[in-house]
Structure 1
């Protein structure tokens, strides 16, 4: 039986026009770190490395462990010394990022090493790693539209909703790309926008 974690995990469900407060469990990811505008070779190389490794992991898991699953969508963490670069001026050159792809918790370091060894031609293969992200309490919503139109939604999340609930931002801005950018009209892109939070008093 093939598992689709998008349907199994509540963290991969969000509502447009609604900010939900959720608890995200620790999850395992393929990760590649970088800096700067995502419309660059470095970010493209990260994507062109993560998915070949992700599919090799899937096939190793299916063949050797008899545990099959749907490869998860691209995700990314974004942060900057000046968070206004996300909500107002959108200066992408100031952004740091970690490209992500979630993998099942049964993926071992040994299986990961073998998948990496099987993809030597991937352009950023020396930068990929396997790690755990523990975000805990988060606020998230579904954004429909171009990435460049996220600013007002994030401003409302950061400056209005989060403070109004007695919360403060922690961790890094997280995006989950539910649409294939290569085949989807920008106006119809579906992206989960997530921000880890904690009580303002802690």
Structure 2
């Protein structure tokens, strides 16, 4: 192509320059894409971490239900619960939280034209798992709030993970706590708990 060596800028040199330009451009594009992706992931992780709150929480709760359910025992020690669709007749809860302060809740069947129905259960002998699904429904039977929760109990530690959907918004929450929890009954069931532990909750954009 260039036998006398007098054509330094001929076709071979131009091809090499073009090849080097393409390679370097591609390398820079890949580097920029990776760097931007890593930065986006880092910022996304920071933003997501800011949405989660951790607090120390203690609560006392009691509930009476009616329906096809049989239960007995203390969670984390010896416990069995089979719930095929029981309705909450009355429930009361008081909670003190290092983030949100003190609050209480008292509900009964058809308060504000709403009622709660739940399904699930579980069992353990010195440790076990459980899962529940519940709905808050209006007078016509339409679900206005749905909750799925479950956990692992190994005395004296109990865990609970919960996802609640209300007004189209999902509200995840996780708990690790200690304290007595019991349930007992057939058709009419009584349950109660007194717990102290750590709560982790994800705030919504509007919170």
**Which is strand-richer, 1 or 2?**
2
TM-score when normalising by structure 1: 0.25
Structure with larger RCO (C-alpha < 8 A, sep 6+)? 1
TM-score when normalising by structure 2: 0.24
**Which is helix-richer, 1 or 2?**
1
